[in-house]
Amino acid sequence: TATRSRDGSTPLLLARLHQGPQGYVLFLVNHDSTAQDVTLTVDVPAGAYGLTELTSGAARTATADGAGLRLDAHLAARDAQIWSIRAP
């Protein structure tokens, strides 16, 4: 999923989810020149998850319901985050 610049030419925020044998990896990339507050719903099965942002080491837990896992993040201008999402 990506949002686009006003002229529609360049994605400003990119979110990409990959599934592997040990869980999920979510890549968030802010191409914009300003910081972005992001709220995402990640399509994962219902249950409890441990989330770790791999570049900063920030960790939290969250529970996915039938609609997915909600993740709020703040991305600085031209920054990226990589989240590991694992069932405990």
* Structure confidence by residue, pLDDT tens digits, 10-37: 568 899 999 999 999 999 999 989 998 8
State how beta strands 59-64 and 47-53 pair.
antiparallel
| Placement of tokens 């592997």 in the chain | 20
- What's the confidence (pLDDT) of residue 88? 73
pLDDT at 8 over 70: no
pTM, full prediction: 0.84
State the greatest distance between any 2 C-alpha atoms of the chain, in Å, as a whole number. 43
pLDDT at 7 over 90: no
* Structure confidence by residue, pLDDT tens digits, 34-82: 998 889 999 999 999 999 999 999 999 999 998 999 999 999 999 999 9
